[in-house]
Amino acid sequence: MSDFNILSGHWNELQHDAELIRRHVFIQEQNIPENEEWDDQDAISLHFVVYDQNQAIATARLLENNSIGRVAVLKSHRGLGIGKILMLNIIQQAAKEQRTALKLSAQVHAIPFYAGLGFAVQDGTEHLDCGIPHIDMTFSLKSA
């Protein structure tokens, strides 16, 4: 685990590496259309990229409205605790910024991943985003 390193920064600093991972995971693996993947939130979000040595292997973004999104770990690196390290780093950053709550729209298959981190399903209503079922989840930082 000690070989992993996490950088956070603005889109103009991390775009190259974050884009690489999101292309692999969302556009190629999950067939998300290119025009749905990139939006105006990228320019104003705080981005996170995890590196294994010099290779970018995971990413996510923290929006101004306290949403976490675009959480992606390269297929070759899943199940190693990297997604968890990434999310804990974002939660730590949000606490440092004195945010009081976080939210996200979880792909249904990833609910246990987020639940294990302390996120709770809001009302259980599923909605489709890019044809993929999602559920809203929240996390309170007051007790974190």
Among 27, 80, 95, 141, which residue interacts with ligand COA (rule: CB under 6 A)? 80
Site for ligand COA in 109-128 (CB under 6 A): 109-110, 112-113, 116
Q: H/E/C letters for each residue in 103-141?
A: EEEEEHHHHHHHHCCCCEEEEEEEEEECCEEEEEEEEEC
Choice between 1 and 98, CB closer to ligand COA: 1
Residue 72 touches ligand COA, criterion: CB under 6 A? yes
Segment lying near ligand COA (by CB under 6 A), choices 1-9, 10-18, 33-41, 68-76:
68-76
Site for ligand COA in 1-60 (CB under 6 A): 25
Q: How far apart are CA 50 and CA 108, in angstroms?
A: 23
Quick one: which of 79, 123, 126, 143 contacts ligand COA (CB under 6 A)?
Answer: 79
Q: Binding ligand COA by CB under 6 A: which of 4, 20, 66, 78?
A: 78
Q: Does 99 bind ligand COA (CB under 6 A)?
A: no
DSSP reduced 3-state for 87:
helix
**CA of 44: how far to CAs of 14, 16, 39, 41, 87, in Å?**
12, 16, 10, 5, 19
Six-digit token pair at 122?
A: 């809001």
DSSP 45: S
Is 81 among the residues that bind ligand COA (CB under 6 A)? yes
In contact, 109 and 116? CB cutoff 8 Å: no
Phi, psi at residue 75, to the nearest 5°? Answer: -50, -40
With CB under 6 A as the contact rule, the residue among 18, 49, 62, 71 that binds ligand COA is 71
> Footprint of ligand COA on this chain (CB under 6 A)?
25, 71-73, 78-84, 106-107, 109-110, 112-113, 116
